[in-house]
Amino acid sequence: MVIETRSPKETFEFGKKIGELAKAGEIYTLIGDLGVGKTVFTQGLARGLQIEEAISSPTFTIVQVYEEGRLPFYHFDVYRIGDIEEMEEIGYEDYFYGQGVSLIEWSNLIEEILPQRRTEITIEKDLDQGFDFRRITVRELGV
Ligand code: ADP
Ligand code: MG
């Protein structure tokens, strides 16, 4: 599925729809350059899980856990990760294979430990279409 947005609000709303449909144990992986809108999308998805708390990027912690919503939400941002051992140290498998919803920004940096079964979301700019334009591609992998 490919959808196009023309404002942060539209990307948020699309994330929210995905969050409303999300089920326990699902994994969403986000790929795209810095500033493309991964965190905006994530904020929408969290809202769709009925999380009201503000979502920022977990810059110093790799993962931020939100328990207040419809399902537990595990927000990873692995942009600054050094190596896969850091994922092992935080016990990533308990999140990925648990009963919450996992979302990983910069998932391409930890490709080797990603489950086959996941929803891969790629966000791209296209400056020919304007500064606020984004193309969001959603792929169901491993099904
Ligand atoms: P990332 O997490 O991918 O590094 P952020 O979500 O933190 O990116 O930031 C995206 C930036 O792009 C925000 O400043 C946002 O306002 C801006 N923006 C402009 N147009 C869009 C759009 N269509 N969708 C999402 N963000 C947009
Ligand atoms: Mg981000």
Which residues, judged by CB distance below 6 Å to any ligand atom, belong to the binding site of ligand 1? 5-8, 10-11, 32, 34-40, 105, 132, 134
Give the closest residue (by CA) to ligand 1 atom 10: 37
Q: Summarize pLDDT for 32-52 with one digit per residue, the tens.
A: 999 999 999 999 999 999 999
**Which domains, and CATH codes, for the chain?**
2-141 (3.40.50.300)
29 bridge partner residues: 104, 120
Per DSSP, the three-state class of 128 is helix
Cβ density class 77-108: b for 16+ within 10 Å, e for less:
bbeeeeeeeebeeeebeebbeeebbbbbbbbe
**Spatial separation of the C-alpha atoms in residues 106 and 38, rounded to whole Å:** 9
ipTM over cut 0.95: yes
What is the mean pLDDT of the segment spanning 73-98?
Answer: 95
